[in-house]
Amino acid sequence: MSKQNIFHASSILLVLFVGSKVLGFVREQVIAAYLGATLQSDAFVVAATIPFTLSTIIGVSAGNALLPLYTGRLQDANRVYLASTVVYAVGGLVAVLTVLGMLFTPQVLDLLAPGFTGEARQTALFCTRVMLPSTFFLTMGFLAKAVLNAHREFTVPAMAPVLQNIIFIALIFPLGSYLGPGLAWCTLAGALVFYLYNLPAMRRFGIPWRPLLDIGDPDVRRVLLMSVPVMLTALSSRGFMFLDRWFGSHLVEGSIAALSFANRIRELPYGLFVAVISSVLFPALAAAAKRQDLQLLHDRTATGLRLVALLTYPCAALMLVLAVPVVRLLFERGAFDVTATTATATALSYYAVSVAAMSASSVLTYTYLSLREAMLPLWVGLAGLLVNILLDYLFVGNMGHIGLALGNTIGFWVTAVLFLVFLYRRLPGFDWRRQGVDHLKIIFATLVFAGLLWWVGGLVGLSKAGLPLWGQLLGMTLTIGSAGLAYLLVLIWLNIEETAALRKRLIKYIK
């Protein structure tokens, strides 16, 4: 797949991902309006951590382990057995874990949030039991996505979360008045749709709904063995969520919710841009690695790093410079008051610095997995998690929930730096000079973007409390629009590769 094809496929996916994320944020806004940053929201967030994090760790990781090997066997008729065996073996494991979770919910909850007592604990227990089956449906959906992406079918798995959010939002109106428990039922219904929507496309590529098992297939064993370190790697990268819940359960009411809402905003660039690029890039990296074409692997890794930098650097600047206006615009309504806005925005300003590190680590993880190196990302991820744990312990006493955000940000940067160090050893001949120059250009353009955000935002009064919603929308549009235009013009002036076509058109227009 050429750079043009990667960019074209990413553009198509971007539309669906934007739709999904917009709906996802509507969902988060409704949750914030109903629950605010309160005991109810803390309980719901903790309960949702188990199914969403567990399914991401297991489903996405097993899918990432399956995709390179499955891609190499697309012309093999027995590939159907490989996909079906892995999907149902992993699904069976998750089903067992779900049942165990239902049986031992109190013990699991006490381990995750030992500071919860009374109403908070009872609400979290009920919500956890309702949402636990979501773990199975989400995991199966993630596995289906990996198989479909290997066939270059990106639209169906990108559409699944759109429908998931639509179902959730539609059910909020009759169930939202029941607060946390009602939203838990909405979550379960959305997860079911997320899985079922992928099944017709799976059948179209020859993967039947019934299990076709071949445990003797050596690639099945390779995928399952590779899945273990990949899952542990995902656990290390998502471990901060468990840390936030554990430490946050001992802090003032609303701390967990503030961290969760801030993290939702931080992950927007990943969900909107990096996930799109990675979904298209991973099969291309796997194909290059299978052909042992190191130069192509260099080029595609470099393209991925440059694309995520172009998109995430300005996003990080936006979250840092306009943290309070962003949180106010997205969440401050209903039960989500000024106090909740302040707590969330403070956490966001610390989280924002990690956006680029998270995104680069994601691209580099796919490069290593394409080379079938699962252990290196694991050790790197564990190093970052250990730093996160240590700093959380040191910071939380004096800094509260923002100490948890700071510890997580530093942990992600440790991970990204280690990935780059090992990339120097694993991919000899990688054009570091060009990559460094490109990133310096993007950083310069981002500084211009940040400066204009601060200046224009001040002129339109975005930081003023009590600004009506239409004023916030207009002010944010003018601020981001003018800063974004300047950012694009600087990139064109600096001749960044991805802006070459725009640069030619601009020169032609001027002439």
Please write the tens of the pLDDT for every residue from 404-429.
Answer: 889 989 999 999 899 888 877 777 77
Confidence of residue 440 (pLDDT cuts 50, 70, 90): very high
Neighbours of 103 (CB within 10 A): 10
- Using CB atoms within 10 A of its CB, is residue 369 exposed (0-12), middle (13-18) or buried (19+)? buried
In this predicted model, which residue has the larger pLDDT, 233 or 356? 356
The label of the residue with tokens 């489903």 reads 59
pLDDT given at position 16: 64
Q: Given a cut of 70, is residue 195 above it in pLDDT? A: yes
Confidence of residue 11 (pLDDT cuts 50, 70, 90): low
The number of folded domains in the chain is 2
Q: Which two tokens stand for residue 16?
A: 């669906």
Same domain, 10 and 28: yes
> Which of 383, 415, 430 is the last residue in one of the domains?
430
Q: Please state which of the ranges 32-41, 153-162, 247-256 shows the lowest mean pLDDT.
A: 32-41
Among 27-41, 127-141, 150-164, 255-269, the range with the most confident prediction by mean pLDDT is 127-141
| Cβ partners under 8 Å of residue 436, min gap 6 | none
User: Region 362-372: what's the mean pLDDT?
Assistant: 78
Same domain, 226 and 251: yes
> Which of 377, 409, 430 is the last residue in one of the domains?
430
Give the tens place of pLDDT for each residue, 462-474.
Answer: 877 777 878 888 8
In this predicted model, which residue has the larger pLDDT, 347 or 245? 347
Same domain, 31 and 146: yes
Residue percentage of the chain with pLDDT more than 70: 85
In this predicted model, which residue has the larger pLDDT, 38 or 43? 43
Same domain, 437 and 346: no
Same domain, 446 and 499: yes
Same domain, 457 and 397: no
Same domain, 115 and 172: yes
Distance of CA 79 to the CA centre of its chain: 29
Same domain, 394 and 503: no
Q: How far apart are CA 276 and CA 8, in angstroms?
A: 11
Give the tens place of pLDDT for each residue, 103-114.
Answer: 888 888 877 777
User: Region 186-204: what's the mean pLDDT?
Assistant: 88
pLDDT given at position 10: 52
Same domain, 353 and 487: no
Same domain, 407 and 441: no
> Which of 413, 430, 447 is the last residue in one of the domains?
430
pLDDT given at position 368: 80
pLDDT given at position 35: 66
Q: Which two tokens stand for residue 393?
A: 């312990």
The whole domain housing 456 covers 431-511
Q: Is 483 helix (H, G, I), strand (E, B) or coil?
A: helix
pLDDT given at position 501: 55
**Torsion angle in degrees (nearest 10) through CA of 454, 267, 45, 331:** 30
In this predicted model, which residue has the larger pLDDT, 48 or 96? 96
User: Region 379-399: what's the mean pLDDT?
Assistant: 87
In this predicted model, which residue has the larger pLDDT, 303 or 5? 303
Q: Which two tokens stand for residue 90?
A: 């992993």
Same domain, 425 and 440: no
Q: What is the DSSP string of 411-461?
A: HHHHHHHHHHHHHHHHSTT--HHHHHHHHHHHHHHHHHHHHHHHHHHHHHT
Nearest to 89 by CA among 49, 57, 62: 62
Q: Is the dihedral of CA 178, 179, 180, 184 positive or negative?
A: positive
In this predicted model, which residue has the larger pLDDT, 384 or 4? 384
Q: Which two tokens stand for residue 40?
A: 């109810």
pLDDT given at position 253: 72
Q: Given a cut of 70, is residue 151 above it in pLDDT? A: yes
In angstroms and rounded to an integer, the radius of gyration of the C-alpha atoms of the chain is: 22
Q: Helix (H) and strand (E) counts for the chain? A: 23, 0
Confidence of residue 316 (pLDDT cuts 50, 70, 90): very high
Q: Given a cut of 60, is residue 511 above it in pLDDT? A: no
DSSP secondary structure letter of residue 38: S
Q: How far apart are CA 394 and CA 409, in angstroms?
A: 14
Neighbours of 401 (CB within 10 A): 26
Confidence of residue 205 (pLDDT cuts 50, 70, 90): confident
Among 392-401, 449-458, 487-496, the range with the most confident prediction by mean pLDDT is 449-458
Residue type for position 233: T
Percent helix, strand and coil across the chain, each to the nearest 5: 85, 0, 15
pLDDT given at position 279: 66
Q: How far apart are CA 478 and CA 196, in angstroms?
A: 41
pLDDT given at position 1: 46
Q: How far apart are CA 497 and CA 445, in angstroms?
A: 14
Give the tens place of pLDDT for each residue, 77-122.
Answer: 777 777 788 888 888 888 998 899 888 888 888 777 777 767 777 8
Confidence of residue 319 (pLDDT cuts 50, 70, 90): very high
Nearest to 370 by CA among 271, 298, 272: 298
Q: How far apart are CA 245 and CA 249, in angstroms?
A: 6
Same domain, 469 and 380: no
Confidence of residue 19 (pLDDT cuts 50, 70, 90): low
